[in-house]
Amino acid sequence: MFTFDAIARIEPYLIDSNIDESDWKYWEKPEVYLEIPDKKNVPIVLKQLGKYVKTYNEFNASKSLLDEYRLISFEEASNNTADIWNKYTNGKWNPPFMLMPCAIALLILLIACFNYTNTSIALAGTRIKEISLRKVMGSQRKHIIVQFLMEHFLISLLAVLLSQVFSEFITPIYIGLYSDPEYGIWDFSSYDYIVPFLGFILIFTTLISGAYPAFYISKLKTADALRKNLKLKGGNGFTYALLTLQMIITVVGIGMGIVFTENISYIDKVDKGYAMENVISIPMDGTNGQKDYDLFKSKIIQNPAILQIAGSSQHISWWSWIEKTKCKDVEYEAIMLPTGENYLQTMGVKLKQGRFFENDKYDDTNRVIINEKYMKTAGLTDPLNESVTFYGRPFKIIGVVGDFMQRGVRNKVKPMVITFERKNGLMVVQTSAENIREVNKFLESKWIEAFDKPYDGYPQLKMLDNDKWIYKLMKTIFLYVSGISLLLSLVGLYVLISLIINKKTKEIGIRKIMGAPIKSIIYILGKNFIYIFGTALLVGSLAGLLITQYILDKVFEIENHVDVTATPFNPKISIGFHVLPTEIGRIEE
C-alpha cells in the first residue's frame, strides 16, 4: 500500500533536511501521518488546521492557492488513489482493469464448457445401448441425468484440482506481467474465499457443460435406443450457436492482440516533439538540488561528447499539474511546466515564435512561453503581444514552442504554460544518439566520485517503457487468450464435424455411388460452417472494435493511439477453414 522507503517522526526529518518549520514557502512538503484514536476528534483537528489556510495563501500568493486542509484515512487513500496527488500510498487498480481479466477467464471457461457439451453429445452415441439397457432394467430418466451430471462433476473436479497445481507455476508469471511479484502473493492458502470460489466454479462448470447432454440423452425412448444404427441428431441449432460464439471470441481476442502490438510500434514512430533519444536525465537531491547541480556540472562539462547541459525544477514526462489560466479575459486550463536555464534548448524543443528564457534576463521569471496548442485554443494571432494570467497576476508571453508530449505518448498534447525558475532539482545532458550509452556510463562514474549515493540517471528514451508497458501487457494477455480460445474452437469444430459426418455417413456413401464429386460433398457438409465463419467474422469484428476502443479510452484512458479499425480482426477467421479438409478426408474411405 505504501511507496516510501522509510517512515520517521517529523522532528528528525526537519533537522536532517535542514528545513525551517516556520517557512511557509518550502515547496517540498512531506506526507504527514496523524494518529487520531477517536474518530470523533477528526472535525476538531480539521477546524484547528483551517486557521492556517489563510497564512499559507499569504506566503504563497504566486502559487496555486489552498482552499482547505483535508485529513484522508488510509481506507479513503486506498480507494481513491488516482485522485490524490503527491502521495505515498498505493491503492486499488482501476475497477474496469481488475474486472477485465475476470471477464476473459469467464469467456474461456464458457468456451471450454461449450466444447465439453458438444464432445459429450458426440461420445454419447457409443453409449446408446447402455442407456437403453438401463431403462429396460427400470432406471428412470432422473437416474440417467444424475449419472451424467456426476460424471461431469468428477471430471470437472479433476480439472479444478489440476488447475490449482498449475496455478502455483503460472500465477507468478502472470503477476510478473503487472509488476515484480512479491513474496507469497500467489499463495492461495492465505485467501479465505478460495475454497468457496473453487466450489462455485466446480458447480458452475458441471451444470453448464453437463446439463444439456444429460437432459438430451436421457429423453431417448427405449424403443429408439434399442433400434440398430440409431444416430444422434448432430449439428442442431444449439451446437451451431455454441461454435459460433467460440469463433466470435477467438476473432475478438486475436484482433485485440494485433491492435495492441501495433500500438507498441506506434509509440516508437510517433513524433514526441523533442529530442527524446539524445537526452539523459539525472534527478538531484531535493534539499541540495542546486548545490549538487553546480558541483556535478563542473565535473562533467569538459567531456566533448556532451553537447549541452541544463537544469530544471520540473521535467518533461514527470508529474505535472493543471492550473486555471486566463488569456484575453477567457479562462483556459493549462499544464504548468517550470523550467530552468537552457532547459528547452537542451531538450530539443522547437521554437516557433519569439525567444527562449535567458538566465541573464532577471525579469524572465515574470515571463512565460506557451505551446502551439495553447495558442490555437486561445485563438491568439499575435501571441507575443499578449499575456497569460494565473496565480493572481499577468505574465507576458515571450515565445511559442512546438507541441511536445509532456505526459507521455499515451496522452494527447494539451495547452501548456512554461515558466522560468532559477533553481535546479534536475540535470539534463544532451549528447548524440550514438553516444548515449557511453555518456551515461561516464556520468555514472563521475557521480560516484562526487557523491556518496546511488546514481539515478537514465536515458530519456526509457520513459517510453511506461507507455509501452500497458500495450505489452494487453498484447500478451489477449494473444494468449486468443490462442487458447482458437485451440478450443478448433477442437469444438472438429467434434461438431465428426458428429455431422457420423450422422450422414449413408447419405455420403449414396452420393459417391451416384457419382457426386468431392467438392459437392464438401459443400454440403461445410455450408453451415461458412455461415458460422461469416457470422463470427462480422460480429467478432464489430465487438472487437467496440471492446478495444472501450479499453483504450475508458479503462486505461489512453488518448493517443492507432486508429482502431476492423482490419486486424478480418483475416484471422480463415484458419477455421483448414479444419474442414482434415475431417472430411475420412469421406474418402
Q: How far apart are CA 442 and CA 153, in angstroms?
A: 65
> Which residues share a beta bridge with 400?
353, 370
Beta strands 393-401 and 367-371 are parallel
164-217: pLDDT as tens digits = 888 777 777 766 666 554 544 555 555 667 788 888 888 988 888 788 778 877
Q: DSSP labels for 540-556?
A: HHHHHHHHHHHIIIIIS
Q: How far apart are CA 392 and CA 374, in angstroms?
A: 19
| 484-520: b (≥16 Cβ within 10 Å) or e | bbbebbbbbbbbbbbbbbeebeeebeebeeeeeeeee
What value does the mean pLDDT of the chain take? 77
37-85: pLDDT as tens digits = 888 888 888 888 888 888 877 776 656 667 777 887 777 766 665 555 5
Lowest-pLDDT range of 17-21, 228-232, 371-375 = 228-232
Q: How far apart are CA 564 and CA 388, in angstroms?
A: 38
**pLDDT greater than 80 at residue 502:** no
| All three cell numbers of 214 | 444429460
220-233: pLDDT as tens digits = 666 655 555 555 55
Mean pLDDT of 428-447: 92
* Inter-residue contact 334 to 389 (CB < 8 Å): no
Q: How far apart are CA 548 and CA 543, in angstroms?
A: 8
**pLDDT greater than 60 at residue 312:** yes
Q: How far apart are CA 68 and CA 417, in angstroms?
A: 26
Whole-number pLDDT of residue 121? 72
**pLDDT greater than 90 at residue 400:** yes
Higher pLDDT, 286 or 369: 369
Is the alpha carbon torsion for 306, 312, 313, 314 positive or negative? Answer: negative
Q: How far apart are the first and last CA of the chain?
A: 66
Task: Name the amino acid, one letter, at 559.
Answer: E
Query: Could you tell me which residues come within 8 angstroms of residue 361 by beta carbon, excluding any fewer than 6 positions away?
Result: none
**pLDDT greater than 60 at residue 574:** no
Query: Could you tell me which residues come within 8 angstroms of residue 349 by beta carbon, excluding any fewer than 6 positions away?
Result: 273, 274, 401, 402, 404
Whole-number pLDDT of residue 489? 75
Task: Name the amino acid, one letter, at 380.
Answer: L
Whole-number pLDDT of residue 4? 55
Question: Which pTM value belongs to this model?
Answer: 0.63
Cβ atoms < 10 Å from Cβ of 126: 8
**pLDDT greater than 60 at residue 90:** no
| All three cell numbers of 415 | 495547452
3-state secondary structure of 502: helix
Is the alpha carbon torsion for 67, 70, 76, 81 positive or negative? Answer: positive
Q: How many helices (H) and strands (E) does the chain have?
A: 18, 11
**pLDDT greater than 90 at residue 397:** yes
* Burial class of 331 by CB neighbour count within 10 A (0 to 12, 13 to 18, 19+): exposed
* Inter-residue contact 52 to 66 (CB < 8 Å): no
